[in-house]
Structure 1
Amino acid sequence: MPSVPHITAAKLPSQRGVVRRSPVSVIRRPAAGGGHRFWVRLLPVLAALAVLTHLPSFLRTVWNPDEGFLATQARLLAHGGVLYETVVDRKPPILPWLYEALLGAFGYGSLWPLRTAALLAHIATAALLASTARRRWGGRAGVAAGAGYLLVSAGLAPADTQAATFEVFMLPWTAAAFWCADRRRWMCAGLAAAGAALTKQTGGAVLLPLAWMAWRAARGSGEHGERGARRERIRARTRLALGFLVPLIAVAAALGPGRFLFWTVTGSGSYISASGAWLVVAGRALGNTGILLVSCAGLAVPVAWLAVRRSLPGVVDLWIWLAASAMAVITGFQFYGHYFLQLLPPLVLLGVAALRRLPRWRRPAAAWTALAACGFLAWGLSVPRTDLDHSEEVAAAIGHRTTPGERVLVWGMHPEEYWLADRIPASRYLTAGFLTNFSGGRGDARVGERFAVPGAWQAFRREMAQHPPALIVDDSRGAPYGPRHVQDFKKLLDSQYRPVGSAGGAVLYARRR
């Protein structure tokens, strides 16, 4: 019988690169001592890519009405307004508070502080994705994930990707939540998920992959049998739930639970319905999906290729994250382009995982992604200023017809006109959408007084009686929420106001003396 060779510890295969208790699969750790050098080299590259891909952001006063809404809201909050009472919106409070803080510190004349903060948010998201990919698949994967995210982050219409709006500030929270869960830091993961949900409600979708990761991690660490695994599972999910719920409850208590729940959840029934506008909804959904796929084809095509062949193992958590993000995009049936930004973090990580298994695809994928980023950058630099020119013309007319202390009502969907004119809104409802349910070009489907936010007309009538605006601007321009379609608004104009001019198609009405 042949002798069995003596095996010493030195001859055993090294286990230093393996983490046995991964929640999803075997994970490679970066080589010891290389972390500092990795980040010193990568972070400047990420910063440069972020500046390059979002350069158009700094070249325009306002990119979309959301920015104008938030800027006007911030000014009202800074002058004593109360969120969800005298200053209202259907969104959670983190971004209004951020606008208020930054514009209060740096001045209300420009949105450059918010654009800088948005740039930092993109860099943070890229760095978190790079860290997650590096931990799982090594340094090259980390570089690909960070750079890939920044290249595709400009891959929609410029008004959706260059503006400092909700999704941009939500993404670092979602990436941080996944990063923490990947390291079994369940309380921190829950806190980050709460930050995402308090930035935009759909950010809470990241809880779905987090819950699965908590269950998977507990099942994989059952060192003391099924009972021990069950205890670990309960402990992980409890920490995750506490981290998520405590900040939400605290914010709701501070702002008023009823008002907070109404404006962020229950008061938007008519707004999220697509009844009567399915063709418009379908067209917008297909259009923005197509634009995103053009930008992300270098990542999405390898993922689809391997998914069809079921050759992409060990990334179930990423698939759940992508599916949850897709459900968040669908919620409300609005399908605005900026909603699709929520898909990018899981899609980028899945793309990196797929390209690891398809070495020959890497260069074509990188070339396509870079070329597409250049195309979207050119689009951002050359997109027409039609809406901004209109808003600036109307704002100039408002400034000419009123004094700084006078209240103004803009009956339209461009709240940036208040901010550009530096005038006080006469109503808490900064767009006509709250009073008519008009939203995003859905035509005349479900538009009218009966579809308004519950209680909005009663509050609006009180505002008009207590503080009548010195000037009303009808900026409907033939839209289905114009005065001839909204009888209460028409009565207000006919009884108390007279036309005194026009600007860019908007009609100006001064109060009768």
Structure 2
Amino acid sequence: MLLAPLAPPRSVVAGKGYWTRLLPLLAALACVTRVPSFLGRLWNPDEGYLAVQARILARGGQLYETVVDRKPPLLPWLYEAVFGVFGSGSLTPVRVLAVLAQLATAVTLASIARGRWGDSAGRTAGALYLLVSVGLNPEDAQAATFEVFILPATAAAMWCADRRRWGAAGVAVACALLTKQTGGAVLLPVVYLLNRYGGPRASPLRLAAGVALPVLGAALVTDPAGFAFWTVTGSGAYASFTGSELHVLVRALTNSAILATACAGLLPPVARALRIARTGAADLWLWLAASAVAVTVGFHFFGHYFLQLTPPLALLATAALQVLPRERTAVAVRTSACVCALFLAWGLLAPRPELAHAQRLATALAHRTQPGDRVLVWGIHPETYWLADRAPATRYLTAGLLTNFSGGRDGPEVGEKYAVEGTWPVFRAELADRAPDLVVDDSRGKPYGPDRVPTLRRLLMAGYEQVDEVDGAVVYARVPGE
């Protein structure tokens, strides 16, 4: 057998001081691996989108009504709560929470591994996870966005299922699902464990209730129709890669190669164990497979999607190391540590030209407007609104929702007719009700520029004049009297 029984042995005797020794070590490692995340104001547009959403919500906005996104509400609410306590001028408090999320994931994986294979395995799983958790492009691995906050909930779902706590497992699945839809993939291995372990007849009902009730509550707290549309039914065009096949394929292969490099210490023991034994922890393989499907859904393969693979990979590597010579564990940890150091150096030293552009553009916007003015940034960098501390003129924070460019489209399926259904009538009504004081065309040659968007072109021609240009972004001010 490759692995110990799936359920945590009831006879496991807690080693004296085990957690008091392990927790500080994992906490220190979590802090070290997240050091680059505290450098600079933003890592990617997702952080900017969440920050702008949180400001709008804090000022009385309504999710899926006065501000919209394709994501569930849990992380915008978390950002809003953090801003309410610490102010909205910095993401440092959110990044501290991201460190705690990574630590919670590592501790939970350590507990799962310890219950199955013993004390040493727990230490190995926790350490390996944190070492590979930064193994992507820094803008994907270091940002305090959706995938980082999915992971503690998915690990908790598996931990609860391991202990036959089906109601709690369902709640954990719901928390992952309400952070990002693909977090619900962990339900598949949880259901497998439910079927494997059996139990009282009420167990499936407890699991189902644990998943359904929080999701239903979130829908009712927001707007049920808007919640369903923006998180499920309204993203058909986004989940297609027609016309961008090569673009998407290159991204998928690139990010797969980067993660494989980060997992250089994990993959060899897994491959070796597979050669010498065919049996294993089916739930962990199922978890990995479900996470791989979650990465694939939508056919975009952005780097941060791949973070969802790291917890099952860490546990599978830990499982494989149990049947290999003891020195292989040390080799796996050392290799992972060395590769982690390279990724940390990348995070510390890599240039971030898009952030510099957004900062310069935000400075220009702040200079040309007053705090009460509304602006329209026609681009895919919503962080400009946050950096400039100016309110957006529309609920649609990126041009992607109005043109389908947000999925990384590189040509054919970009334009007004590919927008999210029903967005253009709302957008026109918003601009007619109160025209923006400043409009920024930040398309910079991308296929969603005004030359391909007639409504925006007519708006600019009817009432605006060019007043500035910042790194290729064209700034338009409203003509007096228009």
> C-alpha displacement at 1:43, in angstroms?
0.8
Give the aligned residue type for 1:344: T
Partner of 1:422: 389
Task: Report the Cα distance in structure 1 between the residues aligned to 2:154 and 2:195, rounded to whole angstroms.
Answer: 19
Give the aligned residue type for 2:52: T
Task: Report the Cα distance in structure 2 between the residues aligned to 1:191 and 1:329, rounded to whole angstroms.
Answer: 22
Q: Give deviations 1:332-353, integer Å, cap 9, x for gaps.
A: 0010000000011111000000
Partner of 1:13: none
Partner of 1:53: 33
Match of 1:88, SS? coil
Q: Give deviations 1:390-446, integer Å, cap 9, x for gaps.
A: 000000000010000000000000000000000000000000001000025431131
Task: Report the Cα distance in structure 2 between the residues aligned to 1:314 and 1:29, rounded to whole angstroms.
Answer: 20
RMSD over aligned Cα, in angstroms?
1.5
> C-alpha displacement at 1:356, in angstroms?
1.1
Residue 404 (structure 1) aligned with residue 384 (structure 2) = no
Partner of 1:71: 51
Task: Report the Cα distance in structure 1 between the residues aligned to 2:24 and 2:144, rounded to whole angstroms.
Answer: 22
Residue 339 (structure 1) aligned with residue 294 (structure 2) = no
Q: Give deviations 1:293-325, integer Å, cap 9, x for gaps.
A: 10012112221232244x153401101111111
Residue 84 (structure 1) aligned with residue 50 (structure 2) = no
Q: Could you tell me whether the CA contact under 8 Å between 2:398 and 2:406 is conserved in 1?
A: no
Give the aligned residue type for 1:420: L
Residue 263 (structure 1) aligned with residue 210 (structure 2) = no
Q: Could you tell me whether the CA contact under 8 Å between 2:243 and 2:412 is conserved in 1?
A: yes
1:164 maps to which of 134, 141, 144: 144
Partner of 2:288: 322
Aligned CA distance change for structure 1 residues 312 and 150 (closer, same or farther; 3 Å): farther
Task: Report the Cα distance in structure 1 between the residues aligned to 2:400 and 2:275, rounded to whole angstroms.
Answer: 43
Task: Report the Cα distance in structure 2 between the residues aligned to 1:437 and 1:26, rounded to whole angstroms.
Answer: 46
Residue 147 (structure 1) aligned with residue 127 (structure 2) = yes
Task: Report the Cα distance in structure 2 between the residues aligned to 1:165 and 1:73, rounded to whole angstroms.
Answer: 13
Aligned CA distance change for structure 1 residues 84 and 24 (closer, same or farther; 3 Å): farther
Partner of 2:13: 32
Task: Report the Cα distance in structure 1 between the residues aligned to 2:11 and 2:49, rounded to whole angstroms.
Answer: 45
Task: Report the Cα distance in structure 1 between the residues aligned to 2:453 and 2:140, rounded to whole angstroms.
Answer: 30
Residues 158-197 of structure 1 aligned to structure 2 (within 5 Å): 158-197=138-177
Partner of 1:498: 465
Partner of 2:334: 367
Q: Could you tell me whether the CA contact under 8 Å between 1:477 and 1:506 is conserved in 2?
A: yes
Task: Report the Cα distance in structure 1 between the residues aligned to 2:148 and 2:157, rounded to whole angstroms.
Answer: 15
Q: Give deviations 1:120-156, integer Å, cap 9, x for gaps.
A: 0000000000000001001110000111111101000
Residue 100 (structure 1) aligned with residue 67 (structure 2) = no
Q: Could you tell me whether the CA contact under 8 Å between 2:185 and 2:290 is conserved in 1?
A: yes
> C-alpha displacement at 1:28, in angstroms?
4.2
Q: Could you tell me whether the CA contact under 8 Å between 1:177 and 1:188 is conserved in 2?
A: yes
Match of 1:89, SS? coil
Aligned CA distance change for structure 1 residues 305 and 111 (closer, same or farther; 3 Å): same
2:181 maps to which of 193, 201, 208: 201
* Structure 2: gaps (5+ residues): none
Match of 1:313, SS? coil
Give the aligned residue type for 1:348: A
Task: Report the Cα distance in structure 2 between the residues aligned to 1:278 and 1:406, rounded to whole angstroms.
Answer: 41
Partner of 2:478: 511
Q: Could you tell me whether the CA contact under 8 Å between 2:439 and 2:475 is conserved in 1?
A: yes
Partner of 1:225: none
Q: Could you tell me whether the CA contact under 8 Å between 2:441 and 2:475 is conserved in 1?
A: yes
Partner of 1:386: 353
Match of 1:332, SS? coil
Q: Could you tell me whether the CA contact under 8 Å between 2:7 and 2:163 is conserved in 1?
A: no
Moved more, 417-426 or 249-258: 249-258
Task: Report the Cα distance in structure 1 between the residues aligned to 2:359 and 2:346, rounded to whole angstroms.
Answer: 22
Aligned CA distance change for structure 1 residues 26 and 182 (closer, same or farther; 3 Å): closer
> How many pairs are equivalent?
477
Match of 1:510, SS? strand
Aligned CA distance change for structure 1 residues 313 and 28 (closer, same or farther; 3 Å): farther
Q: Could you tell me whether the CA contact under 8 Å between 2:134 and 2:343 is conserved in 1?
A: yes
2:429 maps to which of 456, 462, 465: 462
Give the aligned residue type for 1:41: R
Q: Could you tell me whether the CA contact under 8 Å between 1:23 and 1:213 is conserved in 2?
A: no
Give the aligned residue type for 2:28: A
> C-alpha displacement at 1:24, in angstroms?
5.0
Task: Report the Cα distance in structure 2 between the residues aligned to 1:335 and 1:233, rounded to whole angstroms.
Answer: 40
Residues 202-351 of structure 1 aligned to structure 2 (within 5 Å): 202-218=182-198, 232=199, 234-309=201-276, 311=277, 313-351=279-317
Residue 119 (structure 1) aligned with residue 99 (structure 2) = yes
Task: Report the Cα distance in structure 1 between the residues aligned to 2:15 and 2:177, rounded to whole angstroms.
Answer: 35
Q: Could you tell me whether the CA contact under 8 Å between 1:30 and 1:134 is conserved in 2?
A: no
Q: Could you tell me whether the CA contact under 8 Å between 1:156 and 1:288 is conserved in 2?
A: yes
TM-score w.r.t. the length of structure 2 is 0.97
> C-alpha displacement at 1:385, in angstroms?
2.0
Q: Give deviations 1:39-68, integer Å, cap 9, x for gaps.
A: 111111111101111100001100000000
Match of 2:263, SS? helix
* Structure 1: gaps (5+ residues): 1-21, 219-231
Partner of 1:413: 380
Residue 488 (structure 1) aligned with residue 455 (structure 2) = yes
Q: Percent identity?
A: 58
The structure having more radius of gyration, on CA atoms, is 1
Higher RCO by CA contacts (8 Å cutoff, separation 6 or greater) = 2
Q: Could you tell me whether the CA contact under 8 Å between 1:30 and 1:138 is conserved in 2?
A: no
Match of 1:476, SS? coil
Q: Could you tell me whether the CA contact under 8 Å between 1:29 and 1:138 is conserved in 2?
A: no
Aligned CA distance change for structure 1 residues 24 and 233 (closer, same or farther; 3 Å): farther
Task: Report the Cα distance in structure 2 between the residues aligned to 1:214 and 1:484, rounded to whole angstroms.
Answer: 55
Q: Give deviations 1:339-386, integer Å, cap 9, x for gaps.
A: 000011111000000011112422321221011000000000001021
